[in-house]
Amino acid sequence: MSFWDRLSKYRTHGPQAVGELALQPADVFRRILGQIADEELLPLGWSRGTGLQWFQPIQPWADEVIAFTTLRSAAGIRWGLRLSFVPKLKKSRHGADLHLSHDPLDYEKDAASWMVSQFANEEELRSDTRAMVRKAIAESRSLVACCRDLHSLVKCFEDKKARKYRRFGFHHYPHEVLADAAVLGLVGREEDGLQELDAAFDRLKASPAERERFRQALTELWKKGI
């Protein structure tokens, strides 16, 4: 029985049906998440990054990433790409953001299977985490096709923009907009790329100097390619 099944019974029949809910200590919760993900991902050739992130090279310029995201008394999971050629704005907490990401909590109608709860007992936590990681691995395989070439990557950005979201849309993630702009310019669509920058700069509250530095970095990237 998963934690979500137990929670449903708890709500319907009370604690006598399933036992009391107890909060796992945060360090134990994170340790179990890391252990299960290591067991699933490392044998497949993934490497452990910082915190609760794992990565695998797809191209010399692209890593596939799977990462846990922190929620209130829970954790979700997302997957995506980190692109080496996208200029960085500056060293900040945004530096580790993905350049193309998929977070099912943003678009799934029933997102319970994409979360693990800190209230789960250890058996439930291990089982739920393993199932969630395996689902993320299966879903992330589509990213390989995104990296066949830059035109394939443009198509994947367009697909994400067209997705119907329940919470956040594409422009909620400014680093993805910056990456989209970089890729558009690399395939010869410089004007489209520059038009994409405005919303990202506004969300990041970038200074005029930082905006100009990034534009110059993009121009240099577009000239030399990858």
pLDDT, tens digit (0-9, with 9 covering 90-100), for 43-86: 999 999 999 999 999 999 999 999 999 899 999 999 999 999 99
Residue 23 pLDDT greater than 50, yes or no? yes
Give the pLDDT of residue 8.
67
Give the residue extent of every domain in the chain. Answer: 3-224
Could you count the other beta carbons within 10 Å of the beta carbon of residue 131? 14
Q: Rounded to an integer, what distance in angstroms lies between the CA atom of residue 119 and that of residue 66?
A: 23
pLDDT at res. 21: 74
Helix (H) or strand (E) segment spanning residue 116: strand 115-117
For residue 17, what pLDDT is reported?
A: 57
* 9, pLDDT greater than 80: no
- For the beta carbon of residue 96, count every other beta carbon within 10 angstroms: 14
Maximum mean pLDDT: which of 13-27, 32-46, 91-105: 32-46
Its pTM stands at 0.88
- The helix (H) or strand (E) run that includes residue 109 is none
**Cα separation values, 128 from 7, 112, 198, Å:** 13, 10, 40
pLDDT band, very low/low/confident/very high, at 170 (cuts 50, 70, 90): confident
pLDDT tens-digit map of 126-161: 999 999 999 999 999 999 999 999 999 999 999 999
Give per-residue pLDDT as tens, 86-133.
Answer: 988 665 443 458 999 999 998 888 888 899 999 999 999 999 999 999
Least Cα distance to 189 among 147, 142, 152, 154 occurs for 154
Is the pLDDT score of 206 beyond 70? yes
Separation between Cα atoms, residue 6 and residue 194, nearest integer Å: 50
Return the higher-pLDDT residue of 10 and 97. 97
pLDDT at 61: 96
- pLDDT at residue 1 in the model: 61
Please say if the pLDDT value at position 15 is more than 70.
no
Contact 19, 111 (CB under 8 A): no
pLDDT computed for residue 95 by the predictor: 42
